[in-house]
Amino acid sequence: MTQQSTAEDLLARMAGRDEAALGELYDRLAPGLLGLILRILPDRTAAECALQDVFLRLWVDARRLSREQVSVPAALALLARARAVDRLRFERRPSEDPHQKLDRQAGFESWLPRPQEIGLLDARRELFKKVVNQLPGPQRQALDLMVFGGFTEIEIAEKLGEPLAKVRSGLLAGLGFIRHRLAAVMRTWAANI
């Protein structure tokens, strides 16, 4: 039985301009990425356009990202979300330059997760979804507005009619909960190696 290539193997082939590798990676990851983008941009045409932009970006940067040994699923998910949020914010306020532009942030590839870290998260995907579902309703609502609604903390406070400090502390508490649960699983995994 042949072993399936990893997403990072496919990226390495893309760095050598292998179009079939791009096609294979697209077949594997595009449905999840399109689902993510559609949560942010409900307009199907806009979402499909954003998805193509993300894969095009990966094609252009394949050599650099492959050299840095980043996790391809994580890079694509973060890029897809950032691209969709930028587009959504532009639709809301065309006169403002969106400041997310994740892939233009300094040292983008130097802090992207490594393949083995994301492999671990993917293997426990269902468990981690339960972790997110354990968040109290108001924290989950504020996180959803931030992650999928593309709102800043100030906009969330306005939308919910709550003081900024309360919204910020709720967001930080929710994110802190997720971070600590993730760290606990990571530590257990590292100890078992």
Q: Which residues bind another protein (CB under 8 A)?
A: 19, 22-23, 26-27, 30-32, 34-36, 38-39, 48, 51-52, 55-56, 59-60, 73-74, 77-78, 80-82, 85, 98-100, 102, 105-107, 110-114, 117-118, 121, 125, 128-129, 131-132, 143, 146-148, 150-154, 156, 171-172, 175-176, 178-179, 182-183, 186
| Residue 75 near residue 55, CB atoms below 8 Å | no
| Chain mean position to CA 149 | 14
Cβ at position 179, least distance to another protein in Å:
5
Give me the residue label for tokens 């559609």. 38
Which residue, 1 or 182, is less far from another protein as judged by CB? 182
Which residue, 5 or 175, is less far from another protein as judged by CB? 175
- Quote the tokens at residue 91: 């639709």
Helices H / strands E in the chain, number of each? 9, 0
Which residue, 3 or 110, is less far from another protein as judged by CB? 110
Cα–Cα dist 115/12, whole Å = 13
Question: What single-letter DSSP state applies at residue 109?
Answer: G
Which residue, 9 or 53, is less far from another protein as judged by CB? 53
